[in-house]
Structure 1
Amino acid sequence: MNILIVGSGGREHALAWKINQSPLVDEVWSAPGNPGMHEIGPCFDVSPTDQDAVEKLVLQLEPDLIVVGPEQPLAEGLADRLRARGFDVFGPSAAAAQIEASKGFSKDLMAKYDIPTARYKRVTDVAAAKAFLDTLSAPYVLKADGLAAGKGVVIAETREEADAEVEDMLSGKYGDASKELVIEEFMTGEEASVFALTDGENVVLLPAAQDHKRVGEGDTGPNTGGMGAYAPAPVVTSELMDDVRERIVLPTLKGLVSENAKFQGVLYVGLMMTPEGPKVVEYNCRFGDPECQVLMMGLEGDIVPLLLACATGGMSQRDFDQLQPEGGFKPAATVVLATNGYPGSYAKGSVIEGIVTANQLKDVMVFHAGTDVLEDGSLVAIGGRVLNVTATGTTLDAAFAQAYSGVNAIEWPEGFCRTDIGWRVRKS
């Protein structure tokens, strides 16, 4: 098989790296890819959001499977367009991708199909927002309805802060994404992420992961796209995973079918492990980033048959279960190296060295998330989150130790990372 991956971040690099290991695969192509993905296979300078250009490329290459990484092209209907051309696509339709593209849609879906989540209200004006805030106690959860590049969620610690944020968001802080808000009751507990690979009816759950959204040590500071992750997350026991499958994942998929929005791809379920049991914080219509990196590193078997089954459908659950990668899952951790200033303003173009050295360490892989190569061959940072230093180990502690060994091998004075990734479970 020849497989095309659409996207250019750390998530897509991890997918390319894993897919390339399959004995079923001849070539892995990427559009547009990144310097790390270029080492795996040809990269084509095509934007994931330029659907005409992506379609033209697909018609030229005729891949056997297309894996769409980012949420925006999915929400804009790229998977529908390519399926209409007769190609197998791992990634949901625009109708199904609403589960991430519209927080209001996803909350209404949960309410309609009795899926446990926080109490909420959809609002489009300040007066209605403040009236609902009156029914809640601090802290307050404010979410832009639309896609905001992972930055559209605000936890307001005081009512004054919540009122100010409501006014800012509804007046266009996140553009069209925050023309409508979802205001939620704050849930307490530990967060975790569960990823369901599905053809819309059958499902295989990957090990639970835990992300670290806040930029600062001890989970402080503003939210980011994710500063690190690990899996498996012990907070999600096998019993709780069964509960998530039966009370959340399967009802969600059945609800989407009922709404004429059958989901094919990976459904990300962000969970809060509350005293009353798991509740949904949010859904995503694609792999989390950087959770995807630890999942791809930790899975020991071939993931390609499962990706293909999700894209094509038509299997029984029994046959679907048999496609789970063989060999189980090794504990894995990733540490994000970001540019100083992120998630605020930051400079571009600083030189990074030492990645080859880091990759030579045992069980370490550095995934590129925001890099470019200059004409002289220098690797430079062009993004906020720039590298995902990922490692496996016999235990989570060993995986964390190896990941930080990889971080220490990289020379990049203009970058930073959190030193406490996995603090809830680290023993050393």
Structure 2
Amino acid sequence: MNPTATPPTRPDRTPHEEVSMTATATPTARCDRSFFNAQAIQALDPFGLDDALADLPALNARADVPALTALLQHMTAQYKHLTLLDAESTHATMRDFGIVLGSLKRHGVEPLSVVPHLEPILLDLGGQHDMVPRDTVLHYTVWNPDGERRRLYTGDPQERELQDAVTNVFPHLSASLALSDSLADLDPRDVRFAPLAMHLARTSEVMVDTIDRVTQHVSPIFFAQTMRPYFEEIHVNGRAYLGPAAAQVPLWLIDITLWASDRSHPAYEHFLQESLQYSPPSWRAFYAAHSARPSLVTKVSALLASDAHQHDRNLLRSADALTALLRTLKVFRGRHLGIARRAYAEDVRLYEHGSGGAPIELLKTITQLTKENEAAVRARVGGRPGGHAPARGEVGSGA
């Protein structure tokens, strides 16, 4: 898949709509501002169905397909009466459609087979913002209201923990894009490189804290047997689109600049190509801009291999900071792999592959690649005078 390609559009799209699609797809268009206006999206109840959607856990518990179908038909009929004044309104609308779509599919019903008139609506909602024509992890977590208005499949406190985990990580992952972008433009011998890399490492520590909380509060059996079925793919316009699982959370934002642009594995590259479509346009543009550039690990390793730079203290600090960042990501990957192994153990799992469509073997591969890149930088630093683990107050000192 072309990472900059747009999702499928309606054949009857007007010229005005096509222009809007093109404008939204450009990297600078609106900077995806609506995607980060979470509170405004959460506050909206476009269909006026807060109470009805609060009953979804009960409908799902008794597998009430007729009631779910009737609800989706009602929403589809009401769509033409909605006044969607801004991007936030369209995101909230897709969010509320999505939770019902996933509920029907969990009970073995392809949603558009029972509500076919919804298809052009999904294509329109997705196309307006250059996104896929169904809900994503952003709709299900970050843009989901809190408290009693929370859209839930099951109502189990463990489901809320999973949603909150993504919501908590999202701002830090978003910030990591800006930090990674800045690092990619700096020479590793620049005095600013090491402190920026350490800041990115500390930002990434939130992911480790979050996955530790998930491990404490969410049972692998609950995820594998209760939640996983709600993230099954649905078909829209002849294509399959995965459900809003946490696998869509783009840790590759860090990976691609750190090591994955030129030190990856074909299986990971294939997974990225498939996963990109579920990300906001600016994140896909970020991938397109950085995937063909030398990674930070490659740049630092090449400089460390040169005798001309062996005494460069800024370079050594930069290498130490990259090692700290890779170590943090290695810990996160290890935790994630441990959870996945328990959730997809033979006596627990209902599916062979994870909710993002990837097998456990891919997680093992990514974890191993992260370890290898950490070891590569560490080995280069270990052979140079002054190589050491940076103290927090030291990485930014000295020129």
Fold shared by both chains (TM-score > 0.5): no
The interval holding the TM-score normalised by the smaller chain is under 0.3
Decide which structure has greater strand share: 1
Decide which structure has greater helix share: 2
TM-score by length of 1: 0.23
TM-score by length of 2: 0.25
